[in-house]
């Protein structure tokens, strides 16, 4: 029997609907409208589209959404000064500097300059540490946080399960492991992280009750690498050439969907799986940041 598709679009819509309710309640009770400011340096087309979608999502949720656009040759000091101003602005509850930044700017310096209480992307070392120790005040990066919500919303029993994560990035792999290993709902897993130096990768993936692919290689995970009945979460977004497609390419994940969906019990498609959850969780983090400022 083909695997059940985990509908990221529908789950993200529910998260965003709750965000709108929470934002309205915060405004009614404390006169505070959650505000997210995104800083875009340069004119990368993909980043511009993504930033525009974040601003639109904020407004749809009844939040303040601002985008600050800076030229690609903006000095690092000028960008840091913008962040300092936003840190001091009580109307800004979330700050996100769209990555990647131009090569002359130190991305880590930028991330560390953001007030951890406004770091709704969850990349500041303070938040990384809080997520690792299970501190509820920390902000988890949006993609792994979204994956955890998807598991919960899809009725996946994670307690005591073997979770194997492909990829050790600080954006997905490492924080995903930190979330799944905690005690609580959508967690309590035994976690293995695999990466480019892992020997006999398939031996690890075939043990997984929950397999999360975030390795950035198109359709690398095949059916023979998956345990029958496993839950497969595909975080990958890869562009592959396809002369038959209207745009000359198609978007695929890290999992060979047609094959693996015949083996897994549940699976996320690409597109329409994890992707929509990222912005939804960004909004959720921003509302939570606003609530923390008033002790709500």
From the first residue on, what is the mean pLDDT of each consecutive set of 10 residues in the chain (296 residues)? 95 98 97 97 85 92 96 98 98 96 97 98 97 95 98 98 97 98 97 97 98 97 98 95 89 97 98 96 98 87
Calculate the dihedral angle through the C-alpha atoms of 132, 133, 134, 135, rounding to the nearest 10 degrees. Answer: -110
Q: Which of the residues 54, 118, 130, 256 is marked catalytic?
A: 54
Where does the chain hold its CATH 3.40.50.720 domain(s)? Answer: 142-275
Q: Which of the residues 22, 119, 121, 234 is marked catalytic?
A: 121
Mention every residue, 6+ apart, whose C-beta is less than 8 A from residue 239.
Answer: 249, 250, 251
Query: What tokens appear for 16 in the block?
Result: 């965003």
Q: Which of the residues 98, 119, 161, 254 is marked catalytic?
A: 98
pTM of the shown model: 0.96
pLDDT reported for residue 1: 77
pLDDT reported for residue 283: 98
Q: In 44-75, which residue ranges form alpha helices assigned H by DSSP?
A: 45-60
- Residues, the chain: 296
Q: Is 54 a catalytic residue?
A: yes
Q: Is 59 a catalytic residue?
A: no
CATH of domain 30-115: 3.40.50.10860
pLDDT reported for residue 247: 87
- Secondary structure element (H or E) that encloses residue 64, with its range: strand 64-70
Tokens 């109307």 identify what position? 91
The fold of the 142-275 domain, in CATH, is: Rossmann fold (3.40.50)
CA distance 202 to 197: 13
Number of CB atoms found within 10 A of residue 32's CB: 19
Where does the chain hold its CATH 3.40.50.10860 domain(s)? Answer: 30-115
Q: Hey, which residues does 267 pair with through a beta bridge?
A: 5, 232
Q: Is 98 a catalytic residue?
A: yes
> Rounded to whole angstroms, what are the CA distances from 174 to 177, 199, 214?
5, 19, 11
């Amino acid at each position: 029997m083909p695997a059940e598709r985990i509908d990221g679009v529908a789950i993200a819509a529910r998260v965003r609907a709750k965000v709108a309710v929470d934002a309205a309640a915060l405004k009614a009770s404390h006169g505070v409208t959650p505000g997210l400011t995104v800083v875009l340096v340069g004119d990368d087309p993909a980043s511009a589209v993504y930033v525009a979608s974040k601003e639109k999502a904020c407004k749809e949720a009844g939040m303040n959404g601002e985008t600050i656009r800076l030229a690609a040759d903006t000095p690092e000091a000028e960008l840091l000064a913008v962040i300092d101003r936003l840190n001091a602005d009580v109307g800004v509850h979330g700050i996100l500097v769209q990555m990647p930044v131009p090569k002359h700017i130190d991305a880590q310096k930028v991330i560390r300059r953001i007030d951890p209480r406004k770091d709704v992307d969850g990349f500041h070392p303070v938040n990384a540490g809080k997520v690792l120790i299970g501190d509820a005040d920390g902000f988890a990066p949006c993609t792994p946080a979204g994956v955890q919500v998807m598991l919960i919303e899809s009725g996946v029993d994670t307690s005591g399960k073997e979770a194997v994560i492909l990829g050790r990035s600080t954006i997905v792999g490492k924080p995903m492991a930190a979330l799944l290993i905690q005690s609580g709902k959508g967690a309590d897993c035994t976690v293995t992280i695999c990466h480019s130096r892992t020997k006999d990768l398939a031996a690890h993936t075939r043990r997984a009750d929950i397999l999360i692919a975030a390795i950035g290689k198109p359709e690398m995970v095949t059916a023979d690498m998956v345990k029958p009945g496993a839950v497969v979460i595909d975080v990958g977004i890869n562009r592959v050439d396809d002369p038959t497609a209207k745009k000359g390419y198609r978007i695929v994940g890290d999992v060979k969907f047609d094959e693996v969906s015949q083996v897994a019990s549940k699976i996320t498609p690409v597109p329409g799986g994890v992707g929509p959850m990222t912005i939804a969780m960004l909004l959720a983090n921003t509302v939570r940041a606003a609530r923390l400022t008033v002790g709500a």
